[in-house]
Amino acid sequence: MKLGFSLKPGWCSSDDTESFLDFLSDAGVNSVELTLPSSGNFDHKTAEAALTRNMTVTFHIIWDSKASWDWYRGWNTETGRNGFDRLLNTLDVWAKRQKNPALVVIHPCDNGRNRQQGITTTVDFCRWLVERTTMKKHKVQWVIENMPHDPNVPSRPGDRVEEIDNMIKSMPGLGICWDIGHWHLTRSINPTWSSPLTNHFIAHTAHTHIHDYTSKLGDHLPPGHGTVPLTTALHRLHTAGYNGWLTLELDYNKALHFSKPRDVARDALTFVHKTWTSTMKTEIGHR
């Protein structure tokens, strides 16, 4: 199995980068996920430290909604496209250094006003990214993430399974980041909001984000402390032959509700490892 850990704010400060990466490596983690601004100026210090530990670095566009929107600004202008070409070159160099494609998780475009317009913008931009990446033969893999449903933000695209499915159907080469916590949160808030997972969705899942959810504390909780049916989700992935990263995406401040941060991270990684292993045993038992 391929365990990953998302270095969301709080987990890995500048004064303990080395020790935290050593901790993750000892816990069986072989990938870390870093935030990526549209400028391409990611945390090179942490990435270099991960590389020396034989960890693969994956990337996630900045979580802040305003910064995420910056990814969609000006891409269809000459200046904007030149900027993204520089970003592609940066990612390609990194992919060659780590001998693994630079996987980038991107959010659908939420302009805060119009869902369909956001979907159209997302499709146009992602199609250009994938086509440009292919044409230039860059070792970059783009994946689109399903978003959590928020009744207060009805304009947000990507919180419905069918929306992500349809985006992928129109863009060969684009993969899915299945955020299992977001998927469960959406269906918990409103079971009729999102259609059931399709075989097409699972088959095109190239990356995962794993976290738990409760109605009281919300999402990005350590797995095993909420209501997300992780065993069912991982079994679905395993039977489909999934070989991507199982990436823990935990909120640092929420983790403090349960124990010391490293204890929470270690227990969560163990939980994911045991759950994935149990799905393999179940599959073998059914043969």
**137-169: string of b/e by CB count within 10 Å (b at 16+)?**
ebbbbbbbbbbbbeeeeeebbbbbbebbbebbe
Element (H, E) at 4: strand 3-6
Distance CA 14, CA 165 (A): 38
Element (H, E) at 3: strand 3-6
Report pLDDT for 284. Answer: 43
Domains of the chain: 3-285 (3.20.20.150)
258: exposed, middle or buried (Cβ count in 10 Å: 0-12, 13-18, 19+): middle
Average pLDDT of span 20-49 = 94
Q: How confident is the model at residue 287 (pLDDT cuts 50, 70, 90)?
A: very low
Distance CA 15, CA 12 (A): 8
Q: What is the token pair recorded at 190?
A: 């409103």
Element (H, E) at 25: helix 17-26
Beta 140-145 vs 3-6: how paired, if at all?
A: unpaired
Phi, psi of 56 (to 5 degrees): -85, 140
Q: What is the token pair recorded at 33?
A: 């996920």
Residue type, 240: A
pLDDT at residue 286 is higher than 60: no
- Name 261's Cβ contacts closer than 8 Å, sequence gap at least 6: 10, 11, 252, 255
Report pLDDT for 77. Answer: 87
More confident residue, 211 or 13: 211
Q: What is the token pair recorded at 1?
A: 């199995």
Kindly compute the dihedral angle of the four CA atoms of residues 178, 188, 214, 10, in this order, to the nearest 10 degrees: 30
* E runs forming strands in 41-107: 56-61, 102-106
Report pLDDT for 24. Answer: 97
The angle formed by the CA atoms of residues 6, 238 and 268, to the nearest 5 degrees, is 35
Q: How confident is the model at residue 79 (pLDDT cuts 50, 70, 90)?
A: confident
Whether 141 contacts 105, CB under 8 Å: no
pLDDT digits (tens, 9 = 90+) for 149-188: 888 888 889 999 999 999 999 898 999 999 999 999 999 9
Q: What is the token pair recorded at 221?
A: 């909780």
pLDDT digits (tens, 9 = 90+) for 120-159: 999 999 999 999 999 999 999 999 999 998 888 888 899 9
Report pLDDT for 155. Answer: 86
Q: Which of 217, 139, 216, 204 is nearest to 178 (CA)?
A: 204
Distance CA 197, CA 242 (A): 15
How many alpha carbons lie under 13 Å from residue 263 in its C-beta half-sphere? Answer: 5
Q: Which of 1, 75, 85 is nearest to 269 (CA)?
A: 1
Q: Which of 175, 95, 105 is nearest to 140 (CA)?
A: 95
Element (H, E) at 144: strand 140-145
More confident residue, 249 or 75: 249
